[in-house]
Amino acid sequence: MLVLTLILVPLAAGLLLLGLKPDLPRKILVSGVTLAVCCGSVALALLPMAGWPPHVELQDLPVSAHAINLGMFLVELAMSLFILYVGIRAKKPLIVLLILAQAGLMVWFELGPGAHLEVAQNLFVDKFTVIMALINGIVGGGICIYALGYMREYHEVAHRDVPDRRPLFFALLFIFMGAMFGLVFANNLVWLYLFWEITTLCSFLLIGYTQTEEAKRNALLALVMNLAGGLAFAVAIVWLQKKTGSIELQAMINSPDKALLLLPAALLCFAGITKSAQLPFSSWLLGAMVAPTPVSALLHSSTMVKAGVYLVLRMAPLVASTKVGMMVALVGAVTFVVGSLAAITSSEAKRVLAWSTVANLGLIVLCGGIGTYEAVWAGILLIIFHAVAKCLLFLCVGVVEHKLHSRNIEDMSGLVVRMPRVAIMMQIGMAGMFLAPFGMLISKWAVLKAVVDAYPSLSVFIAFGSAATLFFWVKWMGKLIEVVRPAERIKKELVLGEAIALYGLSAATALACLLFPLISSRFIEPYIYAVYGQSASLGAGNIIIMTIMMAMVLLFPVSFMGYGRGVKVVDAYLGGANVHSGVQFRSTADSVQDVAMGNYYLRNMFSEAWLSRWGVIGCALLLVAMLTVAFL
Amino acid sequence: MSPWIRILIYLVAAPIVGGLLAGWDRRISARMQSRRGPPIRQPFYDVMKLWDKQSFVTRRSQNFYIGFFLVMIIFTGALFFGGSDLLLVIFALTLAAIFFVLGAYKASSPYSFVGAERELIQMMAYEPMILLTAIGMYMVTKSFAVNEIASHPTLLVLMLPGIFLGFLYTLEIKFRKSPFDLSCSHHAHQELVSGITTEFSGRTLALIEIAHWYENVFLLGWVYLFFASMPVLGVAMSLLVFVFVILVDNVFARLKWQTAVRSAWLVAAVLGFGNILVLSLMR
């Protein structure tokens, strides 16, 4: 029942919120549902340990399975008609074509061959599902709480020109969340497909929230790319049913005849790659930044893109050590390098974060393509740590954007003085993204080992990509802590909702690292063991060393106790006579010059456009090769 | 020998050996330039003198970063000589270097800022080759653990000639010597002033010096790994590599950072990746 509650409560709350105009009841409803969903997902994780395995029987429901399927079919039909309408109104023949093809296929399937299909188990729960549900519940919940405070400031202070459609906004957030729960619990692929399409539609509506020309354009771009993935999904279902007579995810994964399933697996990987914004489809995620920050956080951390890599990792056992798997791995590897290099060239905070998401998802897709037990273990670790740290970073940037009216990294100079709390939490998030001994680095380490054991030559991608990652994070960190000129502290850094979400996520970033051995042994390893019959882990010795390092890093703030003791403060050396306490100096011909320092973006060396163009071409060729190999 | 004893020896002996190496460096460089040069013990005198000087800062928290830089460098070396995982050693080294860079950012002076940016660029330049070196060693010895790599019977350099040459190239960057002394120059009359160390003085500058001694010993220890099955050859080669680095320092002028990144990445891609490709085909 818990599983059904987790899916249905956010969906119901979403529909309810749609009609809720006043602020206060919305606040109460959002907080209540978020709390319920958080508790629900934690309960789902903890109950089996107390000896209560989750029940996912549908028999005890008052409605028949047939009625549920009919209801879902109608929802699907309604969504298809809506997308068709959007496509026609926007005069986008590609959208019309894609939605007609996939809706036509699914209607034919569900009225024809799929009508009398007996599905033994529509929903299921395993350890991987539980992890995804936890991320969705806790991180997604945090975003909803944050959005309460953020959206109010968004409409009442920062963006008065944008029409206030908050009921729709919150409704979509919760429907999105419910669909994501459905997606990870679904065993019946038709159900999974429906939830998949709901996330596509929700992301389209959320990206277009502000209804500016740019927002509309980018929303349509996201729609068209995700519809391409949806079409591949639909074809996979039809093919699977025709060849095996079953549309159950677990049956597919556990099937002994892996060669027969290679094509549907490849198609589902393709769908996953579109949804997780890998090259050549990365542009939709970059375009999604036009939406308000909670949307970006939601798309980048707990839902949407994570749905894509979830599906790719599910397919991992099927594509392991095949040519299809190799192609998927290469797409991920190329995306990782291109994303990391492109992030160097950008000074816009959200864009850097977006490229970094694309790159990190590339690593996860790489793991899925390799498909060995080590790789999948590393991939799941990446999903967990990335969700928490990236969400924290997006939410921090959102707050900074409201206060400084800029999301340019150069404008964040001295943030540690102006907004100390946010600056420190941002640094926690960044450390979580790339530094030892935090989570993402542990995961990258695991990825590297898995890659070296499977395809050693692919490790070169990780080597170059990691080097670039290091560069763009550290120069951003440096900007936050440098203080060139005196600055005033901004009053009231955070409103309540924002504070809860940010403090919670900062704690989660640190906790995820400290509890990482437990997360691995209780959740990831049992799942890997169930699928592969063997499992990976970090050796005990290494865990001890990581813990020592963690302790040392946590001691670093303690050293600030000696702040300003035993030192004489002087002005910086400027190569000329300092004029105004170290922020101006006397230069040639007695002119007075301001001190200005700007980060390197290496735009002469790598250009974003060049990288994207060749990345898109390369990865598109790889995908064509993948599908060709799978068909043959 | 138990790992703890090796760590203890490292902790005590590394600053002495590192300091002496720095002294030889200055002496050999001087002789290459037809000067007499200072006494071998000069670096120790310098550090002692710095220790007694008053500490000037531009920002009050800048020195804490340097303190942690030293701690993390010592930790990195201890992990290495304790026989730990080579990848973990690299990550610890990166963490240490980042503290150094952040300290320079914190100082908020234009020269230390440029030094910090360039140091990051240098890190970006050498990181791929360093990782590929660890991977190459793993492919030959089937282990990332330094103690197992060290006790492997084959002479690693024979299997990893490309990686060894590439590693030598990155050592030039890591030692911050010409042609790659981009981030921090020892000669403060240049356009960079003293780069990343510009705003550090007194005891903090002494700590940076000591950190470099620890770091250099650790790096030469890594060179030794390539020859670990023949210990005498290993020590001799480590010293030879050190002399070679000094020679290059004196022969070359400084390169642009663009050239540093391009060339280091080219070396990593051709020599490092090429070597790994050959190894994976041989399996």
| Residue A532 · residue A313 · CB < 8 Å | no
- For residue A19, what pLDDT is reported? 83
pLDDT of residue A440: 83
Q: How far apart are CA A536 and CA B48, in angstroms?
A: 50
Of the pLDDT bands very low, low, confident and very high (cuts 50, 70, 90), residue A54 is low
Partners of residue A604 in chain B, C-beta under 8 Å: 258
Write out the two tokens for A583.
């922020």
Residue A373 pLDDT more than 60? yes
Q: Is the pLDDT of residue A508 over 60?
A: yes
- Spell out the residues 6+ positions from residue B232 whose beta carbon is closer than 8 angstroms to its own: none
Can you name the residues that pair with A456 across neighbouring β-strands?
none
Residue A368 is encoded by which pair of tokens?
């899925």
Contact B58 A604 (CB under 8 A): no
A 10 A CB-CB count for A125 gives 19
Phi-psi map region of A595: left, alpha, beta (phi>0 left; psi -120 to 50 alpha): beta
Q: What is the DSSP string of A312-332?
A: HHHHHHHHTTSHHHHHHHHHH
User: B54: which chain A residues are within 8 Å (Cβ-Cβ)?
Assistant: 568
Task: State the smallest CA–CA distance between residue B231 and chain A in angstroms.
Answer: 27
Interchain proximity B131–A462, CB inside 8 Å: yes
Distances (CA, A) of A632 to A262, A327, A629: 10, 15, 5
Query: B162 contacts in A (CB within 8 Å)?
Result: none
Give pLDDT, residue A536.
Answer: 79
pLDDT in tens, A290-334: 899 999 999 988 888 999 999 999 999 999 889 999 999 999 999
Residues of B in contact with A559 (CB under 8 A): 64, 67-68
Angstrom distance (rounded) from CA A268 to CA A234: 9
Beta bridge partners of A586: A577, A592
| Closest Cα in chain B, distance from residue A368 (Å) | 21
> What residues of A are in contact with residue B85 (Cβ under 8 Å)?
542, 545
A61-66: long-range contacts, CB 8 A cutoff, minimum separation 24: A61/A4, A65/A119, A65/A122
Q: Three-class SS string for A12-61?
A: HHHHHHHCCCCHHHHHHHHHHHHHHHHHHHHHHHHHHHHCCCCCCCCCCC
Query: What is the average pLDDT across A529-543?
Result: 83
Give the CA angle between residues A143, A481, B60 to the nearest 5°.
135
- Residue A146: the pLDDT is 92
Residue A60 has pLDDT above 70, yes or no: no
**Which residue is closest to B202 within chain A, CA to CA?**
A567
User: A572 vs B107: CB contact, 8 Å cut-off?
Assistant: yes
Chain B interface, best mutation among A344, A409, A416, A464, by max B CB count within 10 A: A464
Q: Which residue of A has its CA nearest to B142?
A: A453
Q: In chain B, helix, strand, coil percent, each to 5?
A: 75, 0, 25
Cα gap B24→B220, rounded to integer Å: 15
The pLDDT score that the predictor gives to residue B188 is 61
**In which residue ranges of chain B is pLDDT below 70?**
187-189
Q: In what order do the strands lie in the sheet with A584-586?
A: A577-578, A584-586, A592-594
Select the residue of B102, B262, B273 nearest A481 (Cβ to Cβ).
B102
Q: Considering only alpha carbons, which residue of chain B is nearest residue A553?
A: B68
Mean pLDDT of A378-391: 92
Does the distance separating the beta carbons of B117 and A435 come in below 8 Å?
Answer: no
**Confidence tier at A78 by pLDDT (50, 70, 90):** very high
Q: Give the closest of B88, B262, B280 to A456, CB-based.
A: B280
Q: How confident is the model at residue A237 (pLDDT cuts 50, 70, 90)?
A: very high
Q: Is the peptide bond before B179 cis (omega within 30 degrees of 0)?
A: yes
CB spacing of A559 vs B277 below 8 angstroms = no
Residue B215 Cα distances to A132, A613, B95, B97, B223, angstroms: 42, 41, 13, 10, 13
In chain B, how many domains are there?
1
Which of A471, A559, A572 comes nearest B199 by C-beta?
A572
- The distance of A617 to chain B (nearest Cα, Å) reads 22
- Cross-chain CB nearest to B128 (options A467, A541, A552): A467
Q: Which residue has the tokens 């990365």?
A: A282
Best of B51, B55, B66, B88 to mutate (most A CBs within 10 Å, chain A): B88
Name the nearest CA neighbour of A453 among A529, A374, A359, A555: A374
Under 8 Å CB pairs connecting chains A and B tally to 177
Secondary structure (3-state) at B54: coil
Using CB atoms within 10 Å of the CB of residue A107, give its burial: 0 to 12 exposed, 13 to 18 middle, 19+ buried: middle
Average pLDDT over residues A618-630: 92
Contact B276 A542 (CB under 8 A): no
Query: Where does the pLDDT of residue A55 fall: very low under 50, low under 70, confident under 90, or very high at 90 and above?
Result: low
> What residue in A sits closest to B79 (Cα-Cα)?
A545
pLDDT band at A61 (very low <50, low <70, confident <90, very high): low
Q: Note the pLDDT of residue B227.
A: 94
Q: What is the pLDDT of residue B13?
A: 95
Is B75 in Cβ contact with A474 (below 8 Å)?
A: no
Tell me if ipTM is over 0.90: yes
On average, the pLDDT of chain A sits at 88
- Cβ of A467 and B98 within 8 Å? no
Residue A58 has pLDDT above 80, yes or no: no
**How many CB atoms within 10 Å of residue B36?**
8
Distances (CA, A) of A611 to A211, A292, A603, B122: 30, 27, 11, 22
Instruction: With beta carbons under 8 A apart, name residues in chain B contacting A536.
Output: none
Identify from B54, B90, B117, B259 which residue to disrupt to test chain A contact, counting A C-beta atoms within 10 A and taking the largest count.
B117
pLDDT of residue B127: 93
pLDDT in tens, A407-461: 899 999 889 889 999 999 999 999 889 887 887 888 888 899 999 999 999 999 9
A36-52 residue pLDDT tens: 999 999 888 888 777 76
Least confident residue range of A93-102, A307-316, A480-489, B165-174: A480-489
HEC secondary structure over A504-551? HHHHHHHHHHHCHHHHHHHHHHHHHHHHHCCCCCCCHHHHHHHHHHHH
3-state DSSP call for residue A568?
strand
Residue of B nearest to A574 (CA): B110
Distance CA A116, CA B282 (A): 54
Question: Which chain A residue is nearest to residue B200, measuring alpha carbons?
Answer: A572
Instruction: Give the count of beta carbons closer than 10 Å to the beta carbon of residue B178.
Output: 18
Cβ-defined contact of B55 to A568 (cutoff 8 Å)? yes
Among residues of chain A, what percentage have pLDDT more than 90?
Answer: 49
Q: Which of B95, B118, B148 to mutate to test the interface with A (most CBs of A within 10 A)?
A: B95
- Domain with B203, as residue range(s), is 3-282
* pTM of full prediction above 0.90: yes
For residue B53, the chain A residue with the least C-alpha distance is A567
